Structure 1
Amino acid sequence: MSLLHRGWSLLPRRMRREALFGLMALRAPRIARPAPDGQGPLAHAGYFSAMSGLGTAARRLQAGLATRGLAAAQIDLTGPLRQGPVAPGQGTARDVAPGPGTLLVHVNGPMLPWALVELGRQVVAGKRVIAVWNWELPVLPADWRRGFDCCHEIWAGSRFTAEAFSGPVGSSRVPVRIVPYPVLPAAPAALGRDAFGLPPGAFVALQVFDAASSIARKNPAAAIAAHGAAFGDDPDRILLLKVHNTARAGEAWREVAELAAARPNVRVLDASLPESELSALILACDVLVSLHRAEGFGFTLAEALALGRPVVATGWSGNLDFMDAPGAHAVPVQLRPAEDLQATYDVPGAAWAEPDVAAAAQFLRRIAETPALCRPPPHAFPAPDYQALLQRPPH
């Protein structure tokens, strides 16, 4: 290891982050002013290979564009922006012609200048740049300010996130539109309960989460507590925690693993599943549980409802946009200051939800005792009219 690299690695994480993002903001290509009308080819850049919420968001939007008949050139930024390995056959900036058009950049505010650096001046010049952002708190960290200088418009997947992007950090410098994500669950693989080691006659509750996306935010400890309050150690009442990226979560995950190990009817499936197998797992269970403290949208919740499975979920943040669907059970909350051991959501002045564990337990018992509640009608989430949105830039 060189002395320079060693010195860099010894700097605090926040200092390294600020230095990197500040350098990229200086290097980023300047977007056209005034804003172009966007007429021309459509391109979409994002983390298409990443096994993360942002990767899911990019893939869902790309699929939604296709269902509306829009052919968007796909640019995978997973590798260039260090979000993980790149899947074979992904597009690059070389696939996008220079000149007018619209560029959807599915990269959050602090990383947006870096994304423009990787896309290059030829790709960015003359295009209308729409940032597609996701966030999980009602306020933004200060380092998102750089992103507002790198786009002409922002798309937010929920009313909750739109309000955050229109808040003090943004200062209404860039128009924000609510553009809900299409919810198109992958066709389920031909897998039943036996494939996941689940007994055929048990009532199975499921929580799905990425351990690297803040254990405190996903709050599996509350799901374990609610399940215990509802069913005790009944072996015919199982809670399955489907999780991945536990190696990146450190002490935060170890605490949850110990809670799960102490309960004989709580199981852990630590694996990354293809989307078709995740759909099969949701269908193999009776209810999806998410006592999260904050969600920007809530893809897994929405997909469970679309597949015809009930959800018991925190009644706050981005998922409120669809918690009026059949089968959705909203758990009451109290707001508390946001505290995150993994430091992702340590934002001054930010609050998030503390869900009512007793109320969640009551919902779980009621669903377990009422078989009809386990099979609500699938809820439809139609894709927005992207053509109209792209033809009518906001003012």
Structure 2
Amino acid sequence: MSLIHRAWSLLPRDLRREALFSLMALRAPRITRPAPDGVGPLVLAGYHSAMSGLGAGTRRLEAGLRARGLDPLAADITGPLRQGPPHPPARVPLGPGTLLVHVNGPMLPWALAVLGRRAVAGKRVIGVWNWELPVLPADWHRGFAACHEIWAGSRFTAEAFGGRGAKVRVVPYPVEPAAAAPRTRADFGLPEDAFVTLAIFDAASSISRKNPAASIAAHHAAFGDDPGRILVLKVHNTARAGAAWQEVAALAASHPNIRVLDRTLSDAEMSALILCCDVLISLHRAEGFGFTLAEALALGRPVVGTGWSGNLDFMHAPGAHAVPYRLVPATDSQATYAVAGAEWAEANAGAAAAALRRIKADPALRRPPPFAFPPPDYAALLGLTSPPSA
């Protein structure tokens, strides 16, 4: 390791982050002012190949645009922004058009620098941002000057982004779960006659925020260690979560009716897993949107979820059971959400346990009608009367 690399590694994480983002902001091309009309090719730049929540969001948005008759050019910037392995640079047509950039505020100048000055010039730039707290970290301020407009997936996130001079629209993600793969409970190691509760989370996306310990506590309060009442923890990225995951793993191991499913599943297999279960639980402390809750409702499975943050936009669905909460200071052992002055929710595990028991006792509650999420009118949002051509 060179002296420069060693000195860099010794700097505190916040200082490294600030230095990197400041450098990228200096390198980033300035967007055209006033905002162009966006007529021309539609480009979606983002983490198309990343195995993360933001990667999944990019792919969901691309699928939604195509389903609505648009044909975006996909510009994968996963490698250049260090969200995955290296790959060839993304190619973007020069000249006018609209550039949707599915990266968060601090990374937006870096993304524009990667795409290049000539590719950005003359385009309308829309940032598609995700965040899970009502307070933004200070380093998000760079992103507001790097776009003409911001799309927020929920009213909750739109409020966090508002008040800084940028135009902010609430543009929900399309909720269109993949057709389920032909899988049965036996394929997932689950008994046919058990009542099965499912929790899904990415261990690298802040275990403190996803709060699986609360779901474990609620399940145990509802059913104890009854072998006919199973809780499945579907998780991935555990190797990146360190001690935070080890604590959850130890807690799960202390209950014989908790199963840990730590492997990658395709979208079709995820739909099958949800359909093999009776209820999905998410006692999260904060969600920007709440993909797993939304997809469970769309597939016709009830959800027991914290009644706060982005998922409130669809917790009026017939299968949704909102859990009361209290606000507490946001503390995150993985440091992703360590923002001064921020609060998030602590769900009432006892109320969640009562909801689980009600659902178990009533077959009708276990099979609500699939909830239809209205698809966004992307053509209208983009000011297009017909799909743009490349």
Place the TM-score, normalised by the shorter chain, in its bin: over 0.9
**Which deviates the most, 5-14 or 228-237?**
5-14
Secondary structure of 2:146's aligned partner: coil
Is residue 102 of structure 2 the alignment partner of residue 106 of structure 1?
Answer: yes
Per-residue Cα deviation, 1:170-210 (whole angstroms, up to 9, x for no partner): x4321100011110111111111111100100000000000
Structure 2 distance, partners of 1:360, 1:51, is 30
- 1:93 positional shift: 2.9
Structure 2 distance, partners of 1:198, 1:92, is 44
Per-residue Cα deviation, 1:260-300 (whole angstroms, up to 9, x for no partner): 01001011111121111111111111100000000000001
TM-score under structure 2 normalisation?
Answer: 0.97
Q: Between the two proteins, what is the percent identity of the paired residues? A: 74
Give yes or no for contact 1:325–1:379 (8 Å, CA) kept in 2.
Answer: yes
TM-score under structure 1 normalisation?
Answer: 0.95
**Alignment equivalent of 1:126, drawn from 122, 146, 149:** 122
Give yes or no for contact 1:50–1:86 (8 Å, CA) kept in 2.
Answer: no
- For 2:387, the equivalent position in structure 1 comes to none
Give yes or no for contact 1:305–1:325 (8 Å, CA) kept in 2.
Answer: yes
- For 2:349, the equivalent position in structure 1 comes to 357
Per-residue Cα deviation, 1:226-270 (whole angstroms, up to 9, x for no partner): 000000000000000000111111111111111101001011111
Structure 1 distance, partners of 2:214, 2:205, is 16
Structure 2 distance, partners of 1:382, 1:79, is 33
Structure 1 distance, partners of 2:193, 2:221, is 21
- For 1:308, the equivalent position in structure 2 comes to 300
**Which deviates the most, 378-387 or 143-152?**
378-387
Structure 1 distance, partners of 2:185, 2:79, is 35
Structure 2 distance, partners of 1:51, 1:184, is 19
**Alignment equivalent of 1:219, drawn from 206, 211, 225:** 211
Structure 1 distance, partners of 2:193, 2:86, is 40
Q: In structure 2, what residue type is equivalent to 1:198?
A: L
- For 2:90, the equivalent position in structure 1 comes to 93
Secondary structure of 1:93's aligned partner: coil
Corresponding residue pairs, total: 384
Give yes or no for contact 2:80–2:89 (8 Å, CA) kept in 1.
Answer: no
Matches within 5 A, 1:1-395: 1-85=1-85, 93-94=90-91, 96-166=92-162, 171-391=163-383
Give yes or no for contact 1:74–1:92 (8 Å, CA) kept in 2.
Answer: no
Give yes or no for contact 2:135–2:342 (8 Å, CA) kept in 1.
Answer: yes
- 1:146 positional shift: 0.3
Structure 1 distance, partners of 2:194, 2:86, is 39
C-alpha RMSD over aligned residues: 1.2
Q: In structure 2, what residue type is equivalent to 1:112?
A: L
Give yes or no for contact 1:310–1:329 (8 Å, CA) kept in 2.
Answer: yes
Q: In structure 2, what residue type is equivalent to 1:336?
A: V
- 1:92 positional shift: 5.3
Structure 2 distance, partners of 1:12, 1:324, is 44
- 1:86 positional shift: 7.0
Q: In structure 2, what residue type is equivalent to 1:106?
A: H
**Which deviates the most, 364-373 or 123-132?**
364-373
Structure 1 distance, partners of 2:220, 2:17, is 40
Secondary structure of 2:204's aligned partner: helix
**Is there any run of 5+ residues in structure 1 with no aligned partner, and where?**
none
